[in-house]
Structure 1
Amino acid sequence: MRLKNICLVALIGMMSFLSYSQEGMPVYSDYLTDNYYLIHPSMAGVANCAKVRLTARQQWFGVDDAPSLQTLSAHSRLGDGPSAIGAIVYNDENGFHSNTGAYVTYAHHLLLSRNEVDLNMISFGLSAGFIQYKLDETSFLAPGEFDQLIAGIEQSATNFNVDVGMSYHFLDFYAHATAKNILNNEGINFNEQGFSFNNLRTYLLSVGNVFQKYGSDWSFEPSLMYMYRDATEESSIDVNIKAYREVDFGKVWGGLSYRRSLDGAQFLEGNTVSSQKLQYFTPFIGVDYNQFTFAYTYSYQANTINFNTGGFHQITLGYNFNCRREKYDCNCPAIN
Structure 2
Amino acid sequence: MKLKNLLIAFFLFAITFGYGQELNLPVYTQYLADNDFVVSPTFAGIGDYLKIRANGLTQWVGIKDAPDNQSVYADIRIGDRSGLGASFYNDRNGNTIQTGAKFSFAHHLILDVTSEQYLSLGLSLNVNNFRIDINNFVNYNESTGAPIPVTGIEDDRRTSNINFDVGALYRFKDFFFSLNVNNILDKNIDALIRQEEPNLLLNYQIYTGYVFGKPVRNGLQFEPSLFYQMFTSDKRSSTDLNFKVKKFGRNDNYVFGGISYRFLNDQFLKPLNIGPMMGINQNKFYFAYAYQVTTNGLSAYNSGTHVVTIGLNFLRGISNCPCTKTRVRY
Q: TM-score, normalised by structure 1?
A: 0.84
Query: Percent identity at matched positions?
Result: 32
Q: Deviations over 1:34-60 (max 9, x none)?
A: 111012110111122221111111123
> Match of 1:333, as an amino acid?
R
| Aligned pairs (5 A) from 1:92-241 | 92-114=91-113, 119-141=116-138, 145-148=149-152, 151-187=153-189, 190-192=192-194, 195-212=196-213, 217-241=219-243
2:144 is aligned to none
Distance 1:307 1:176 in 2: 36
Checking the alignment, whether the CA contact within 8 Å between 1:243 and 1:254 is kept in structure 2 is: yes
Q: 1:255 aligns with which of 255, 258, 263?
A: 258
Structure with more helix by fraction: 2
2:309 paired with 1:308? no
Say whether the 8 Å CA contact 2:289–2:308 is kept in structure 1: yes
Q: Structure 1 pair 122/213, CA: closer, same or farther in 2 (3 Å)?
A: closer
2-structure distance, mates of 1:218, 1:166: 29
Residue in 2 that maps onto 1:333: 327
Cα RMSD, aligned residues only: 2.9
- How many corresponding residue pairs? 316
Identify which of 277, 283, 289 aligns with 1:284.
Answer: 277
Question: Residues 91, 147 of structure 1: CA spacing in aligned structure 2 closer, same or farther, 3 A cutoff?
Answer: same
Q: Residues 163-212 of structure 1: CA distance to partner in whole angstroms, max 9, x if unpaired? A: 000111111111100001111112377355x7411111110011110112
- Distance (whole Å) between structure 2 residues aligned to residue 10 and residue 154 of structure 1: 20
Please tell me whether the aligned partners of residues 61 and 310 of structure 1 are also in contact (alpha carbons under 8 angstroms). Answer: yes
Does the CA contact (< 8 Å) of 1:234 and 1:263 recur in 2? no
Measure the CA separation in 2 of the matches of 1:132 and 1:124. Answer: 27
Residues in 2 aligned to 1:144 and 1:82: alpha-carbon distance in whole angstroms? 61
- Deviations, residues 229-255 of structure 1 (Å, cap 9, x unaligned): 000000111111010111126111110
Q: What's the secondary structure of 1:42's corresponding residue? A: helix
Kindly provide the amino acid, as one letter, of the partner of residue 256 in structure 1.
I
1: CA distance between counterparts of 2:17 and 2:138? 28
Shift of 1:11: 5.3
Query: 1:147 and 1:213, CA in 2 relative to 1: closer, same or farther beyond 3 A?
Result: closer
Q: Which amino acid aligns with 2:175?
A: F
CA distance in 2 between counterparts of 1:248 and 1:86 reads: 29
| Cα distance change, pair 332–219 in 1 and its aligned pair in 2 (3 A) | farther
Q: Given the superposition, is the C-alpha separation of residues 315 and 38 from structure 1 closer, same or farther in structure 2, using an over 3 Å criterion?
A: same
Q: Is contact 1:25–1:101 with CA below 8 Å preserved after alignment? A: no
Distance in 2 between residues matched to 1:176 and 1:136, nearest whole Å: 36
Q: CA deviation at 1:308?
A: 3.1
* Residues in 1 aligned to 2:138 and 2:36: alpha-carbon distance in whole angstroms: 43
In the superposition, relative to structure 1, how do residues 308 and 111 fare at CA in structure 2: closer, same or farther (>3 Å)? farther
Structure 1 counterpart of 2:174, which letter? D
Aligned partner of 2:103: which letter? Answer: V
User: Alpha-carbon deviation of 1:144?
Assistant: 6.8
Q: Deviation at 1:325?
A: 4.7
Classify 1:12/1:112 alpha carbon distance in 2 versus 1 (closer, same or farther; 3 Å): same
Per the alignment, residue 245 of structure 1 pairs with 247
The answer (yes or no) to whether the contact 1:188–1:196 under 8 Å persists in 2 is no
Give distance in 2, aligned partners of 1:144 and 1:237.
Answer: 44
Measured in 2, the distance between the counterparts of 1:281 and 1:144 equals 42
Distance in 2, Cα, partners of 1:15 & 1:234: 12
On the 8 A contact 2:62/2:301 being kept in 1, the answer is no
Q: Distance in 1 between matches of 2:300 and 2:198?
A: 26
Runs of 5+ consecutive residues of structure 1 not aligned to the other structure: 265-275
Change (3 A) 1:42 1:225: same
